[in-house]
């Protein structure tokens, strides 16, 4: 199909950032036309269940859709699935889809998210090596996990750790391999990482820390994972969870400015460098009043909140995006960690409660000021942290 059409608001991308922008446009009383274009076969869905509920025993009953099927029609939003935007002409205010359809717009949102980072080592093309980003990835992994015994999971951050917990709960023997000294070390520091390591080991997960995967071995199908220390780990299947990179290709080829993390560079109101083009979610590298610098955040609530900010900007009601980032991570039903804040670095940690009992808050501080809080089982501390961090962050002047 090709042709031309026009819309007032064009939302590019089928993730939660786009979906929440669509909802906010209608919530604000906007009655003009709204088109949401996504290259995926599914309407917008939540990704967090991909490493959690969709790997668990109730997976078949879990629906990750953001809205019910009829929501799009009842809100008069034209949902174009299986439609990749091939190019964007910011001067002409048009996009061209991969089938040649040209869509003109008044305002556009780029919410193209992030893409999987691939591990390019010998044997990377063998069968049985999985990456997790969409529900279909989880369904395939779950099917293969049935009847398999040993899983090797590559990575030491959220995706890998959550997957190891979920597959262990399904009855598999899991080995986590990571270059970091312990799981979640980069995000939460050594104290929490040691606790997470202890929890995983107590549930039967083997940890191989401080080593990189250097190859996958097998005939047709992966049978072994090899590390740079020469270790050989048997594997019936492998999951690689080594992070994601901003998918800013569409914006970049349209000439939009790209930031230091590879995202679309935006001001505090989420405007890109092109007129009438906004960005939100994983792809958006914005000038954060909270951080006092440009940042890009890859968390679901943040993407949803930015969809709201961007939608208001598209309606001519711009405001700085000043919500303190929040995210959670679940290790099966063993432990839920929730984090509020803006702390890529900190210089001290203060702990309330007991890490061993899974009932604690770690307060991360920089130059005597709280910049983040991680909690298990203490939700009231999340609000306390928001209040402490919420005022714009002034960076300490170097001595
Ligand atoms: C497995 C997994 C588990 C996660 N768990 C958690 C969690 O527990 N807690 C948490 O806070 N966060 C979690 N996250 C992160 C969270 O899901 C993301 O931050 C969030 O999905 C970002 O939403 P988004 O809308 O910005 O981007 P995405 O969800 O990446 O959506 C972008 C969309 O744009 C589409 N697109 C891209 N380019 C084009 C184009 N040219 N044309 C048309 N469509 C295009 C893509 O196909 C995709 O549909 C998880 C992520 C993953 C992958």
Q: Which ligand 1 atom lies nearest to the CA of residue 283?
A: 26
Q: Tell me what pLDDT residue 392 has.
A: 52
CATH code, domain carrying 194: 3.50.50.60
Please enumerate in sequence order all residues whose Cβ is within 8 A of that of 343, keeping only pairs 6 or more positions apart, or say none. 364, 366, 371, 372
Q: Which ligand 1 atom lies nearest to the CA of residue 18?
A: 25
Q: Which ligand 1 atom lies nearest to the CA of residue 44?
A: 49
The C-alpha atoms of residue 1 and residue 6 are separated, in whole angstroms, by 15
How many domains in the chain? Answer: 3
Q: How far is the CA of 303 from the centre of ligand 1 (A)?
A: 8
Q: Tell me what pLDDT residue 394 has.
A: 43
Q: Which residues pair with 239 in a beta bridge?
A: 130, 153
Closest C-alpha among 204, 166, 189, 129 to residue 48:
166
CB 365 within 8 A of CB 326: no
Q: Which of 23, 47, 270 to mutate to test the pocket of ligand 1 (most atoms within 8 A of CB)?
A: 47
Q: Whose CA is nearest to atom 25 of ligand 1?
A: 15
Whether 394 is in a domain gets the answer: no
Q: How far is the CA of 15 from the centre of ligand 1 (A)?
A: 5
Q: How far is the CA of 296 from the centre of ligand 1 (A)?
A: 13
Q: The tokens of 184 are what?
A: 């979640």
The C-alpha atoms of residue 188 and residue 208 are separated, in whole angstroms, by 19
Whether 229 is in a domain gets the answer: yes
Q: How far is the CA of 329 from the centre of ligand 1 (A)?
A: 15
Q: How far is the CA of 286 from the centre of ligand 1 (A)?
A: 17
Range of the domain at 286: 4-115+245-314
Say how far residue 207 (Cα) sits from the centre of its chain: 24
Q: Are residues 262 and 278 in the same domain?
A: yes
* Burial profile 181-190: b = 16 or more Cβ within 10 angstroms, e = fewer: ebbbbebbbe
Closest C-alpha among 242, 62, 56, 243 to residue 167:
56
CB 148 within 8 A of CB 237: yes
Q: Which ligand 1 atom lies nearest to the CA of residue 299?
A: 19
Q: How far is the CA of 304 from the centre of ligand 1 (A)?
A: 11
State the alpha helices, DSSP H only, in the chain: 16-27, 71-74, 135-145, 158-169, 185-202, 249-253, 300-314, 379-389
Name residues contacting ligand 1 (CB within 6 A). 12-18, 37-40, 47-48, 50-51, 84-85, 111-114, 132-133, 159, 247, 250, 281-282, 298-301, 303, 327-329
DSSP, res 218 = -
Q: Which of 240, 245, 249, 300 to mutate to test the pocket of ligand 1 (most atoms within 8 A of CB)?
A: 300
The C-alpha atoms of residue 90 and residue 95 are separated, in whole angstroms, by 8
* Helices (H) then strands (E): counts for the chain: 8, 25
Q: Are residues 294 and 346 in the same domain?
A: no
Q: The tokens of 105 are what?
A: 């717009």
**CA-CA distances (angstroms) from residue 90 to 79, 239, 247, 335?**
22, 39, 18, 46
Of 280, 314, 348, the position where a domain reaches its end is 314
Q: Are residues 107 and 80 in the same domain?
A: yes
The C-alpha atoms of residue 267 and residue 264 are separated, in whole angstroms, by 10
DSSP of 57-90, one letter per residue?
TTGGG---BSS-TTHHHHTTEEEE-S--EEEEET
Q: How far is the CA of 244 from the centre of ligand 1 (A)?
A: 10
The SS3 assignment for 33 reads coil
Q: Are residues 84 and 30 in the same domain?
A: yes
Q: How far is the CA of 283 from the centre of ligand 1 (A)?
A: 9
Whether 319 is in a domain gets the answer: no
Q: Are residues 123 and 87 in the same domain?
A: no
Q: How far is the CA of 78 from the centre of ligand 1 (A)?
A: 20
Q: Are residues 102 and 143 in the same domain?
A: no
Q: How far is the CA of 350 from the centre of ligand 1 (A)?
A: 33
Q: Which ligand 1 atom lies nearest to the CA of residue 306?
A: 26
Whether 327 is in a domain gets the answer: no
Q: The tokens of 330 are what?
A: 């679940």
Closest C-alpha among 305, 309, 232, 241 to residue 271:
309
Whether 166 is in a domain gets the answer: yes
Q: How far is the CA of 372 from the centre of ligand 1 (A)?
A: 23
Whether 320 is in a domain gets the answer: no
Half-sphere exposure of 227 (CA within 13 A, CB side): 21
Q: Are residues 236 and 122 in the same domain?
A: yes
Q: Which ligand 1 atom lies nearest to the CA of residue 244?
A: 53
Whether 397 is in a domain gets the answer: no
CB 292 within 8 A of CB 392: yes
Q: Are residues 122 and 229 in the same domain?
A: yes
Q: Are residues 31 and 171 in the same domain?
A: no
Of 242, 259, 292, the position where a domain reaches its end is 242
φ and ψ at residue 241, rounded to 5 degrees: -135, 80
Q: Which ligand 1 atom lies nearest to the CA of residue 47?
A: 17
Q: Whose CA is nearest to atom 53 of ligand 1?
A: 133
Q: Whose CA is nearest to atom 19 of ligand 1?
A: 299
Q: How far apart are the first and last CA of the chain?
A: 62
Q: Whose CA is nearest to atom 5 of ligand 1?
A: 48
Q: How far is the CA of 113 from the centre of ligand 1 (A)?
A: 5
Q: Are residues 250 and 236 in the same domain?
A: no
Q: Are residues 234 and 163 in the same domain?
A: yes
Per-residue pLDDT of the chain (399 residues; tens, 9 = 90+): 579 999 999 999 999 999 999 999 999 999 999 999 999 999 999 999 999 999 988 888 999 999 999 999 999 999 999 999 999 999 999 999 999 999 999 999 999 999 999 999 999 999 999 999 999 999 999 999 998 999 999 999 999 999 999 999 999 999 999 999 999 999 999 999 999 999 999 999 999 999 999 999 999 999 999 999 999 999 999 999 999 999 999 999 999 999 999 999 999 999 999 999 999 999 999 999 988 899 999 999 999 999 999 999 999 999 999 999 999 999 999 999 999 997 778 999 999 999 999 999 999 999 999 999 999 999 999 999 999 998 654 443 433
Whether 368 is in a domain gets the answer: yes
Of 183, 207, 242, the position where a domain reaches its end is 242
CATH code, domain carrying 360: 3.30.390.30
Q: Are residues 130 and 213 in the same domain?
A: yes
């Amino acid at each position: 199909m090709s042709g031309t059409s026009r819309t007032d608001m064009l939302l590019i991308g089928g993730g939660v950032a786009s979906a929440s922008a669509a909802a906010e446009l209608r919530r604000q009383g906007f009655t003009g036309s709204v088109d949401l274009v996504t290259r995926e076969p599914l309407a917008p869905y939540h990704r967090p269940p991909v490493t959690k509920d969709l790997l668990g025993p109730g997976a078949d009953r879990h629906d990750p859709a953001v809205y019910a099927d009829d929501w799009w029609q009842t809100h008069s939003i034209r949902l174009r699935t299986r439609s990749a935007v091939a190019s964007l002409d910011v001067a002409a205010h048009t996009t061209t889809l991969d089938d040649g359809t040209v869509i003109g717009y008044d305002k556009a949102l780029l919410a193209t998210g992030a893409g999987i980072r691939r591990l390019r080592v010998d044997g990377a093309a063998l069968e049985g090596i999985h990456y997790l980003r969409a529900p279909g990835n989880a369904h395939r992994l779950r099917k293969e996990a049935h009847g398999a015994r040993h899983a090797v999971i590559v990575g030491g951050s959220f995706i890998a750790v959550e997957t190891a917990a979920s597959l262990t709960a399904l009855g598999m023997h899991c080995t986590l391999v990571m270059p970091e000294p312990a799981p979640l070390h980069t995000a939460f520091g050594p104290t929490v990482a040691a606790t997470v390591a202890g929890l995983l080991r107590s549930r039967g997960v083997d940890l191989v820390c401080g080593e990189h995967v250097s190859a996958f071995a097998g005939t047709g199908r992966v049978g072994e994972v090899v590390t740079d220390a020469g270790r050989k780990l048997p594997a019936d299947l492998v999951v690689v969870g080594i992070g994601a990179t901003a998918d800013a290709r569409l914006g970049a080829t349209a000439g939009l400015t790209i930031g230091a993390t590879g995202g679309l560079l935006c001001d505090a109101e989420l405007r890109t460098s092109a007129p009438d083009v906004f960005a939100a979610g994983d792809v958006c590298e914005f000038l954060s009043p909270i951080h006092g610098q440009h940042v890009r955040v890859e968390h679901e609530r943040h993407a949803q909140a930015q969809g709201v900010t961007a939608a208001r900007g598209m309606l001519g009601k711009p405001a700085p995006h000043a919500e303190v980032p929040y995210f959670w991570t679940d290790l099966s039903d063993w432990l839920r960690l929730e984090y509020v804040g803006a702390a890529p670095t900190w210089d001290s940690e203060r702990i309330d409660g007991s890490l061993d009992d899974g009932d604690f808050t770690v307060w991360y501080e920089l130059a005597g000021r709280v910049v983040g809080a991680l909690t298990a089982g203490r939700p009231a501390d999340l609000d306390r942290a928001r209040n402490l961090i919420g005022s714009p962050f002034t960076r300490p002047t170097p001595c």
